[in-house]
């Protein structure tokens, strides 16, 4: 088949295999590191951006959310384009779109157009990531043979995922100079990724098929509309007609998309892959695990800054406990995948993560960073054990070696789940925090209406300072907040307990799903089109 990488034996004979694999993996890590870092770096700089550009609180929320919305909406398209136009080409195009958008985000002008400018180019950043990531992952899969793929992808997911922890640290340091640097820092990283990709001489492979434009529009509209409803539920309310119109309307469009895909000749997503029971279980495990994995970055950071009175840099160090567990366990998970298949690793990871998040939630009201680190590390280890095995096992089961397409499916599931988790847990946090702070302020003499209004402002703000400004002066609101500081910190900690209990439940559901995995595993490919599976494992 034209463009197919040479067999491992041939590559070793020519001396090209190992260098190409190492360079290719390094290039892809540099590329996707930008997408992971940008998931957290903007949140740290949000107050500075808001103050300088005069953005509203809802406007800043859109700046943060536009990235995730675009990722969820275009991942399937990115995976399909990677198959049709070539993985290397789409990786380079996606990287260029991402880095140009980053530069433009950092060049936002002051004035009335600033908010719109930032939202537009944050969305195009997400588009660039959606084009880049499926292609980058497909390159790693194509370059490494099946018997080495588990460890390679464990390194890929482990290091790139752990780089999310760099976001807050880097954001805190760069913001001291200028918040615009949090976008410009992507430029040197992108240059290294592009240079290494060219030097690695990655073989190109394309599929001569038609792009499903109608399917791309339907899935983008359905994903974007439903995610919008989930994300805006905290602001609009779950009883709002607009909330449910977006959610139900978006899901209805996705149903139409499914029906259309089943009838078209060259679908954007080949749903036949879900006939593989193992692939379906892998997808379910990823869905429920991602309800916790991406949101934990935001909620743990906010908890640390509000309840533990940590600085942004201290909050980032707090998250390192989670990532230490994640990084170590991801390597073990990859080895288990290579030797015994995905099911044992997923079972261990889901169970460990559920227990870790539960115990972490139990310790939150003690308001001590040092007492929580074992449970944060345990929760991270749980995610680390299951993430690479579930993702790798899913893409190994791709039909006709359609790695880009199947990667697009799995990453769409992951990002869609992350959006739902952020929205649902955010609504829970806002609701519980508002109720608890209202009670606290009423006990300190604030009138009920004023107590509820103040509580809502505090609950809806990331830092506890709505619209980037803290209550000031000698009025009753400022006095009440000053007198109730410790109590409000505890109120917020108790509200976060509900969020982390929810994450534990999500991992418990993922564990139940993992039990249904048939235990078969991909052990080799006799050709580039059909995987060979062993008998079910006993674990």
- In sequence order, which residues have a C-beta less than 8 Å from that of residue 2 and are 6 or more positions away? 205
Q: Is 54 left (phi over 0), alpha (psi -120 to 50) or beta?
A: left
Same domain for 373 and 505: yes
Same domain for 219 and 203: no
Three-state secondary structure readout of 418-477:
HHHHHHHHHHHHHHHHHHHHHHHHHHCCCCHHHHHHHHHHHHHCCCCCHHHCCCCCCCHH
* Confidence (pLDDT) at 447: 78
Helix (H, G, I), strand (E, B) or coil at 525: strand
* Confidence (pLDDT) at 161: 60
The Cβ-side half-sphere exposure at 301, using a 13 Å CA radius, reads 27
Give the span between the Cα atoms of 333 and 338, in whole angstroms: 9
Q: Domain boundary residue among 207, 225, 241?
A: 207
Give the span between the Cα atoms of 157 and 149, in whole angstroms: 12
Domain assignment of residue 137, yes or no: yes
pLDDT by position in tens, the chain (length 539):
334 444 443 344 333 444 478 888 888 888 888 887 776 677 666 667 777 887 765 567 677 778 877 887 888 788 788 888 888 899 999 999 999 999 999 998 887 788 889 989 999 999 999 899 888 888 888 888 777 777 777 777 666 666 665 666 677 677 778 888 888 988 998 999 999 988 887 877 777 677 888 988 898 888 888 877 877 776 787 788 998 999 999 999 999 999 998 888 878 777 888 888 889 999 999 999 999 987 887 788 778 877 888 776 777 778 778 888 887 888 888 788 878 888 899 999 999 999 999 999 999 988 887 889 899 999 999 998 998 888 888 877 765 546 656 766 787 888 788 877 877 887 788 788 888 888 888 777 777 877 777 777 666 654 333 333 444 444 444 454 555 667 878 888 899 999 999 999 999 999 999 999 987 766 544 334 444 444 455 45
Instruction: Find the helix or strand (DSSP H, E) in which 531 lies.
Output: strand 531-533
* Confidence (pLDDT) at 98: 95
- With tokens 């038609």, the residue in question is 210
Same domain for 403 and 260: no
Beta bridge partners of 524: 532
- Residue 191's nearest CA partner among 262, 269, 282, 92 is 92
- With tokens 């990235």, the residue in question is 67
Q: Domains in the chain: how many in total?
A: 3
Q: How many helices (H) and strands (E) does the chain have?
A: 20, 2
Q: Domain boundary residue among 222, 242, 267?
A: 267
The Cβ-side half-sphere exposure at 103, using a 13 Å CA radius, reads 9
Same domain for 240 and 171: no
CATH of residue 375? 1.20.1250.20
Give the DSSP letter string of 490-521.
HHHHHHHHHHHHHHHHHHHHHHHHHTT-----
Same domain for 288 and 401: yes
Q: Domain boundary residue among 207, 226, 257?
A: 207
Domain assignment of residue 217, yes or no: yes
Give the span between the Cα atoms of 189 and 33, in whole angstroms: 8
Same domain for 307 and 432: yes
Domain assignment of residue 9, yes or no: no
Instruction: Find the helix or strand (DSSP H, E) in which 88 lies.
Output: helix 87-106
Domain assignment of residue 477, yes or no: yes
Domain assignment of residue 370, yes or no: yes
* Confidence (pLDDT) at 250: 92
Same domain for 234 and 192: no
Domain assignment of residue 527, yes or no: no
* Confidence (pLDDT) at 172: 67
The Cβ-side half-sphere exposure at 7, using a 13 Å CA radius, reads 6
Same domain for 202 and 218: no
Same domain for 282 and 262: no
Same domain for 320 and 254: no
* Confidence (pLDDT) at 165: 59
0.85 surpassed by pTM:
no
With contact defined as beta carbons under 8 Å apart, do 348 and 294 qualify? no
Same domain for 244 and 357: no
Number of neighbouring beta carbons within 10 Å of residue 537: 16
Domain assignment of residue 10, yes or no: no
Same domain for 203 and 102: yes
Domain assignment of residue 530, yes or no: no
By DSSP bridging, strand 522-525 and strand 531-533 are antiparallel
The residue range of the domain holding 75 is: 16-207
Beta bridge partners of 525: 531
Give the span between the Cα atoms of 110 and 108, in whole angstroms: 7
With contact defined as beta carbons under 8 Å apart, do 120 and 108 qualify? no
With contact defined as beta carbons under 8 Å apart, do 410 and 78 qualify? no
Give Cα separations from 503 to 28, 496, 497 (angstroms).
30, 11, 10
* Confidence (pLDDT) at 466: 36
């Amino acid at each position: 088949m034209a463009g197919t990488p040479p067999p491992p034996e041939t590559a070793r004979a020519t001396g090209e295999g190992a260098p190409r694999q190492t360079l290719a993996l390094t290039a892809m890590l540099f590329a996707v590191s930008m997408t992971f870092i940008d998931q957290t770096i903007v949140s740290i700089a949000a107050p500075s951006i808001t103050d300088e550009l005069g953005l509203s609180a809802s406007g800043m929320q859109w700046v943060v959310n536009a990235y995730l919305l675009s990722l969820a909406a275009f991942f399937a398209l990115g995976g399909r384009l990677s198959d049709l136009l070539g993985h290397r080409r789409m990786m380079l195009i996606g990287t260029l779109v991402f880095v140009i958008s980053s530069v433009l985000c950092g060049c936002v002008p002051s004035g009335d157009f600033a908010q719109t400018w930032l939202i537009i180019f944050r969305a195009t950043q997400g588009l660039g990531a959606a084009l880049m990531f499926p292609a980058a992952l497909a390159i790693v899969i194509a370059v490494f043979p099946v018997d080495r793929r588990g460890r390679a992808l464990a390194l890929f997911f482990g290091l790139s995922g752990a780089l999310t922890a760099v976001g807050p640290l880097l954001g805190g340091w760069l913001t001291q100079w200028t918040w615009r640097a949090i976008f410009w820092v992507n430029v040197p990283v992108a240059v290294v990724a592009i240079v290494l990709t060219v030097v690695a001489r990655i073989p190109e492979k394309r599929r001569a098929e038609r792009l499903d434009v109608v399917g791309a529009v339907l899935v983008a509209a359905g994903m974007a509309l439903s995610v919008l409803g989930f994300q805006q539920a905290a602001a609009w309310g779950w009883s709002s007609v607009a909330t449910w119109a977006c959610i139900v309307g978006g899901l209805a469009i996705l149903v139409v998309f499914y029906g259309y895909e089943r009838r078209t000749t060259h679908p954007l997503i080949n749903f036949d892959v879900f006939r593989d029971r193992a692939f379906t279980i892998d997808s379910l495990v990823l869905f429920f695990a991602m309800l916790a994995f991406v949101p934990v970055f935001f909620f743990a950071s906010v908890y640390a800054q509000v309840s533990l009175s940590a600085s942004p840099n201290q909050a980032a160090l707090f998250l390192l406990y989670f990532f230490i567990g994640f990084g170590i366990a991801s390597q073990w998970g990859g080895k288990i995948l290579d030797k015994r298949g995905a099911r044992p690793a997923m079972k261990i990871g889901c169970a460990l993560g559920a227990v870790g998040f539960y115990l972490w939630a139990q310790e939150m009201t003690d308001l001590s960073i040092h007492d929580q680190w074992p449970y944060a590390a345990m929760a991270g280890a749980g995610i680390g054990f299951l993430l690479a095995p579930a993702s790798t096992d899913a893409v190994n089961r791709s039909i006709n070696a359609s790695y880009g397409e199947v990667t697009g499916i799995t990453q769409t599931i992951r990002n869609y789940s992350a959006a739902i988790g952020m929205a649902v847990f955010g609504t829970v946090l806002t609701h519980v925090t508002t109720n608890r702070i209202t009670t606290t302020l009423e006990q300190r003499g604030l009138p009920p209406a004023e107590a509820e209004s103040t509580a809502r402002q505090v609950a809806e703000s990331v830092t506890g300072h709505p619209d980037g400004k803290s209550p000031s002066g000698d009025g009753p609101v400022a006095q009440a907040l000053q007198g109730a500081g410790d109590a409000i910190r505890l109120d917020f900690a108790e509200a976060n307990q509900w969020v982390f209990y929810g994450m534990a439940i999500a991992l418990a559901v993922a564990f139940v799903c993992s039990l249904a995995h048939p235990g078969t595993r991909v052990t080799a490919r006799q050709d580039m089109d059909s995987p060979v599976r062993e008998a079910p494992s006993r674990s």
